Amino acid sequence: MTQRTVIAAALAAALGLAAGAAQAQGQGPIKIGSFLAVTGGASFLGDPEAKTLRLYVERINKSGGVLGRQLQLIVHDSAGDAKQAATFAKRLIEDDKVDILIGGSTTGETMAIVKMVDEAELPFLSLGGASVIVEPVKERKWVFKTPHSDRLAVQKVYVDMKARGLTAVAIIAGSGGFDQSCRKNAQELAPTMGMRVVADETYAPTDTDVTPQLTKIKNAAGVQAVLGCGFGGITSITAKNYKQLAMTQPFYFNHGVGSKQFITGAAGGAEGIRLPAAALLVAADLPDSDPQKKPALEYAAAYKAAFNEDISTFGGHALDALLIAVDAFKRAGSTDKKKVRDAIESTKGLIGVDGIFTFSAADHNGLDEASFKMVVVQNGEFRLLK
């Protein structure tokens, strides 16, 4: 008779799922669906992103919501795993019937659902860094992203290196999508910008030590500067190992390390490292005339007051995505998916904390180079490089 128990359990489970789906449609809240790497290796991306979204959705709701409707935020924890991200995205689209998707802390999570949002015809604002997310733009009709692209990041780094007379660069990159995209851009851009890649090493995101790879770079001939492509705890380890090996070449990173955790994790190893980052990270150093100074400082203060933590650029990406979504809902005058998508694409001069966003049919990243600053770590703080 055991089988009856089985069927009862199966039916109960199925009914439980079905009940969740039968939610009232119409003029309820505007639903914002989000899947972020709140836990796991990429949690220092997903954690501030989730906190920022919760904080600002609450704020917007307190001041009357959008289009006279409240915002409802649904956050799922993908733990940085592309497959879980895809499952949750499916759930948000099909079950929760969200009006817009914000998320994908990492490039891998984002790329896993790009096809899905295209089929579902749902606007999607990604928080991933790699340029492949919005390129080729013809195949990314419904996908937009808020962080600066890594191509721009590499350009910035190369320009700074050249200004210091360094032309022979070694790359140390992780094996993840964001890291590899940066590495690919670094290799492709090198000849066009008069740079040479003289060493190229890769580590796995789960590694706990990168001394072997760095030693190979140290022993390679003629390395004048090193570029680190990556994000997460491993970047702190890289910086620490770099110092332990007493390597003297100037060390650069891409924009995946724009959080205080990188500096504290590196235990002194981050000192002197240069990276391109959103102006948000060095808001206090900006001149008063900079349009980004005010919103960035406001965000930093609000975040600190709510969570007693320093901001990172990652939370900023989420804030900008939310602002862009809200702005698009207002201009579209509804949550009609097609109208909202068109409204996002016609966003013009929106001042976010990452920079000033102007999207177009040819550009789904929308940021200009001016908002991307070269930053240096000095006395355990990010400072604007002058």
Partner 1 sequence: MASRHRGLVLLAAVVLALPWFLANKFHFQVAILIGLNALVCVGLNLLIGYAGQISLGHAAFFGLGAYVPALLVDKLRWDSSLALAAGLAAVGLLAFAVARPILRLKGHYLAMATLGLGIIVAIVINRELDLTGGPDGMSVRAYRIGDLRLRGEWTWYWITGGTLVLGVWLAQNLIDSPAGRALRALHGSEVAAESLGIDVAGFKVKAFVISALYAGLAGAMTAHFLQFVTPIEAGFLRSIEFVTMVVLGGMASTLGVVVGAAILTLLPQLLTGFHDYEHLVLGAILMGMMIFLPKGLVPSLAALWTRWRAQS
DSSP conformation class of 386: -
User: Residue type for 212, please?
Assistant: P
Q: Is 187 in the site for partner 1 (CB under 8 A)?
A: no
Q: Which of 71, 112, 157, 210 binds partner 1 (CB under 8 A)?
A: 112
Beta-bridge partner residues of 383 = 376
φ/ψ of 358, rounded to 5, equals -135, 100
Considering the complex, what minimum distance in angstroms separates the CB of residue 280 from partner 1? Answer: 26
Considering the complex, what minimum distance in angstroms separates the CB of residue 180 from partner 1? Answer: 7
Q: Which of 49, 81, 201, 310 binds partner 1 (CB under 8 A)?
A: 81
Considering the complex, what minimum distance in angstroms separates the CB of residue 224 from partner 1? Answer: 26
Q: Is 11 in the site for partner 1 (CB under 8 A)?
A: yes
Of 179, 183, 219, the residue nearest 200 (C-alpha): 183
Of 49, 108, 37, 42, the residue nearest 73 (C-alpha): 49
**What is the dihedral sign for C-alpha 143, 147, 150, 152?**
positive
Q: Is 6 in the site for partner 1 (CB under 8 A)?
A: yes
Q: Which two tokens stand for residue 55?
A: 């904080």
Where in 194-213 is the site for partner 1 (CB under 8 A)? 202, 204-206
CA distance 314 to 280: 10
Q: Which two tokens stand for residue 65?
A: 């919501």
Considering the complex, what minimum distance in angstroms separates the CB of residue 68 from partner 1? Answer: 28
Q: Which of 34, 43, 107, 131 binds partner 1 (CB under 8 A)?
A: 107
Nearer to partner 1, 187 or 202 (CB): 202
Q: What is the CA radius of gyration of the chain?
A: 22
Beta-bridge partner residues of 36 = 77
Residue holding tokens 């022993």? Answer: 219
Single out the segment in contact with partner 1 by CB under 8 A; choices: 58-66, 78-86, 220-228, 238-246: 78-86
Of 351, 330, 350, the residue nearest 340 (C-alpha): 330
CA distance 316 to 312: 7
Single out the segment in contact with partner 1 by CB under 8 A; choices: 174-182, 212-220, 273-281, 302-310: 174-182
Q: Is 14 in the site for partner 1 (CB under 8 A)?
A: yes
Single out the segment in contact with partner 1 by CB under 8 A; choices: 58-66, 107-115, 155-163, 190-198: 107-115
| Contact residues for partner 1, defined by CB under 8 A | 1-3, 5-7, 9-11, 13-18, 21-22, 76-77, 81-83, 86-87, 90-91, 93-95, 106-108, 111-112, 115, 175-177, 180, 202, 204-206
